[in-house]
Amino acid sequence: MQSNDSTVKISVVIPTHNRKHLLFRLLAALQQQTLDDDSYEVIIVHNFTDDGTEEIALNWCAQQPFKARYFKKDYNGPARSRDFGARLALGDYIVFIDDDCIATEYWLESGLLAFERYERQPDGLEVGLIQGRTLPVPDQPRHLLEKTISIQAPTVFYETCNIFYSKKVFIEVGGFSEEFLDKFYGEDTDLGWKVREAGYGIHFSADALVYHEVFHVSVWNWLKEPLYFNNIPYLVKKYPRLRESMYYRWFLTKDTCFFYFFLLGLLSMIMIGPLGMAMATPYFYQRYRSGKHMANPVYRLVRALVGVPRAFFMWWALLIGSIKTRSCLL
């Protein structure tokens, strides 16, 4: 694991917690990168669990021809782990990836090439970040109740499952904001917007590809997942330009917008009877359409129906967040 630190171009930061088998899969993929061994390093920040992760990580680090470091911490969530790892990074660039992802062979090389390509453009802004492409693991089955990530085009949320930052820019904007370090969700969006508001170039690389695990989750975990979105109204308030990317400015997504048709349908049913529920039709149609990743139309129909209770959780999270921050997002 010896390396000439001056030659390190890019530092991979991995927060991990209680996922030793998924972490090992990612680490194996990082051994296959096409960059020279002395041009990248790997930093593992482990929110400690006594499940064997420490042994696996330390043994792996000791066997690598590139620089690899392991740190045991007791942080509350991954945000502080990412910030800790990024500040220790030796590379000119930092890339964040999650322990439930698999890096493709050309991942790091593609990220670095994207920085070089965009910085060579005439009158181009200095590049602050490159967002990579993330897809569900292709050979894993999809589930009605699942958790995965699919990023096939630039987003305004700057998800840390696959994103590259200039180390210089990361330090200049203060890294992850202190107010988000102990929160689960929103720290990545906040960091991306700090870079964007500072005037740096923001770009996307489809070649910088990673695959994300497809988890089959319990009903309760699937229902409550939208509760994490209660930070988004605050982010919209903090970065007014973010509102321009919301659906008609006031709705988080098309689904959340059409959910209000469903609510109006419920109220109308009280006043005019069953015909009032016709107003709910656009919501179910939208849910059916947004489930196009499911080939089976029956599954898509079931998804539309079971999405109603989950939508209530989303509605509640956004309502509480909006009231708390006095920034309306529906």
pLDDT higher than threshold 50 for residue 301: yes
Domains of the chain: 5-217 (3.90.550.10), 221-330 (no CATH)
- Reply yes or no on whether the pLDDT at 282 is more than 50: yes
Confidence check: pLDDT of 231 > 50: yes
- CB burial of residue 106 (10 Å; 0-12, 13-18, 19+): middle
Tokens, residue 180: 């988000």
Residue 279: pLDDT band by 50, 70, 90 thresholds? confident
For 131, what's the count of Cα atoms within 13 Å in the CB-facing half-sphere?
A: 24
Q: Kindly state the average pLDDT of the residues 117-136.
A: 89
Angle between the 254-272 and 281-290 helix axes, to the nearest 10 degrees? 150
Of 72-81, 100-109, 125-134, 296-305, the range with the lowest mean pLDDT is: 296-305
Say if residue 61's pLDDT is above 50.
yes
Report pLDDT for 30. Answer: 97
- In this predicted structure, the answer to whether residue 1 has a pLDDT above a threshold of 60 is no
Does the pLDDT at position 2 exceed 60? no
Contact 114, 208 (CB under 8 A): yes
Q: Is the pLDDT of residue 80 over 50?
A: yes
Note the pLDDT tens digit of each residue in 114-126: 999 998 877 678 9
The whole-angstrom separation of Cα 228 and Cα 324 is: 14
Residues for the chain: how many in total? Answer: 330
> For the residues 37-65, what does the mean pLDDT come to?
95
Amino acid 29: pLDDT: 97
Rg (CA), the chain: 21
Whether the model pTM is above 0.85:
yes
User: What percent of the chain has pLDDT above 90?
Assistant: 75
Dihedral, 191, 172, 129, 28 alpha carbons, nearest 10: -80
Per-residue pLDDT at 250 exceeds 90: yes
Please state the rounded mean pLDDT for residues 280-305. 78
Q: How far apart are CA 105 and CA 88, in angstroms?
A: 25
